[in-house]
Amino acid sequence: MDFEFTAEQVAIRDTIRELVQDRVAPRAAEIDAKSEYPKDIETLFAENGILGIPFPEEYGGISGSSVTICMGIEEIAKACASSSLILAVQALGSYPILVAGSEEQKKRLCPPLASGEKVAAYALSEPGSGSDAAAMKTRAKRYGNEYVLSGTKQFITHGSVAGTLVVFAETEPGTDHRGISAFVLERETSPWIVSKIEHKLGIRGSPTAQIVLEEVKVPASNRLGEEGAGFKLALAVLDRSRPGIGAQALGIAEGAFDYALNYVKDRQQFGQPISSFQGIQFMLADIATQIEAARHLVYLSATKADSKAPDLTKTAAMAKLFASDMAMRATTDCVQLLGGYGYISDYPVERMMRDAKITQIYEGTNQIQRVVIARALLR
């Protein structure tokens, strides 16, 4: 395995790092306080090609590499977890097209996403179907050259702002997961209804929507893969997106740690910086070690996604599990390092702690990751 990034990847990361410092970091507290989707940051990412990272050049993008996507997500999440989801969900919503789309579909659907003209979203969960995704109720009935979709999708990140929505639905109800198919909905021609926006513990700048599909017509040419291949695709997509959630968790932890490290060097108590106390030093050492371990697992899993390694499923689940648990612990400890100041919104670490929690829950809860890992081990 190669521990070095390519020169091109480093150049992309440095560009993102600079943009994030100049334009994203100063907005992060406000985005959280107002619970607003940062359209300005979306535009900034579009203009600078960041939304094109998930796509290979032939589809209008600049990379298509999971490692590069993770680098981008990590950099953005250091300052603003909500903004990092603009890239992470662009990747998540595009993977189904890139993995299962025909050449015609990729050529038609990807360029507007790669240019950032549109953002994508991914609709799998339902009110009665979370960890048990195969229990979904959304129906897709075929009438000639089109399908008609009806149902409700829950916890859809960016479902309210997306122009392209990948939806999983039952084409053959009564069967198990083999009756599920995947569709690409384009908002202009296949409009969906946003029935609710959740108010959440964290990642408040990233709208989480409940979506209602009321007899939405979708051309058959927008079905991804064969009928009945949807569930397998959903899982394959999650294998590719989980390294990205690991990268997000990693970035959140690094952002909080960077702030806390400077704080403890600065904060004087008992006539010396609190960083001179061994109790504080041990906390710093533990957090830094955990971050380092998580980083390697995240990039190993991204490397495996790029090389289509046979054990990607297991490693991606491990990376997501370990990095998100690490981020929750690390951010909680970073709040602790700032004491009372850590608990108030004048300082960024309380936001980062609230943001970290969701990384243990979405794209498969950490309980599901354990199930996936155990299944891979016991097979």
In the complex, least distance from residue 141 CB atom to another protein, rounded to whole angstroms: 28
Nearest to 77 by CA among 359, 368, 275: 359
In the complex, least distance from residue 68 CB atom to another protein, rounded to whole angstroms: 29
In the complex, least distance from residue 119 CB atom to another protein, rounded to whole angstroms: 21
Choose one: 8-16, 72-80, 176-184, 270-278; the region binding another protein (CB under 8 A): 270-278
How far is C-alpha 32 from the chain's CA centre? 17
The partner residues of 147 in beta bridges, in order of sequence, read 142, 218
**Smaller CB distance to another protein: residue 228 or 273?**
273
- For 274, residues 6+ apart whose C-beta sits below 8 A from its C-beta are 264, 267, 268, 280
Annotated catalytic residues are 363
Under the criterion CB under 8 A, does residue 378 sit at the interface with another protein? no
Nearest to 100 by CA among 223, 217, 218: 223
Under the criterion CB under 8 A, does residue 320 sit at the interface with another protein? no
Q: Measured between alpha carbons, how far is 318 from 245 in angstroms, rounded to an integer?
A: 11
**Smaller CB distance to another protein: residue 144 or 340?**
340
- For 57, residues 6+ apart whose C-beta sits below 8 A from its C-beta are 64
Under the criterion CB under 8 A, does residue 99 sit at the interface with another protein? no
**Smaller CB distance to another protein: residue 309 or 361?**
361
**For residues 345 and 33, is the Cβ–Cβ distance under 8 A?**
yes
**Smaller CB distance to another protein: residue 3 or 270?**
270
In the complex, least distance from residue 335 CB atom to another protein, rounded to whole angstroms: 6
**Smaller CB distance to another protein: residue 262 or 367?**
367
Q: Measured between alpha carbons, how far is 290 from 287 in angstroms, rounded to an integer?
A: 5
**Smaller CB distance to another protein: residue 48 or 275?**
275
String marking each residue 122-151 x if it binds another protein according to CB under 8 A: ---x----xx--------------------
**Smaller CB distance to another protein: residue 144 or 271?**
271
Instruction: Read off the amino acid at residue 4.
Output: E
Instruction: Read off the amino acid at residue 346.
Output: D
String marking each residue 225-264 x if it binds another protein according to CB under 8 A: ----------------------------------------
**60: region left, alpha or beta (phi > 0 left; psi from -120 to 50 alpha):** left
Q: Measured between alpha carbons, how far is 209 from 197 in angstroms, rounded to an integer?
A: 5
Work out which of 46, 89, 312, 353 binds another protein, going by CB under 8 A.
353
Q: Measured between alpha carbons, how far is 154 from 362 in angstroms, rounded to an integer?
A: 12
Cα torsion 294, 297, 301, 306: sign: positive
What is the token pair recorded at 88? 């992470």
Under the criterion CB under 8 A, does residue 269 sit at the interface with another protein? yes
Under the criterion CB under 8 A, does residue 158 sit at the interface with another protein? no
Q: DSSP readout, 46-65? A: HHTTGGGTTS-GGGT-S---
Work out which of 172, 336, 373, 376 binds another protein, going by CB under 8 A.
336
Span 279-308, contacts to another protein by CB under 8 A: 279-280
Under the criterion CB under 8 A, does residue 335 sit at the interface with another protein? yes
Residue ranges that bind another protein, judged by CB under 8 A: 125, 130-131, 154-155, 198-202, 268-271, 274, 277, 279-280, 328, 332, 335-336, 339-340, 342-346, 350, 353-354, 357-358, 360-362, 365-367, 370-371
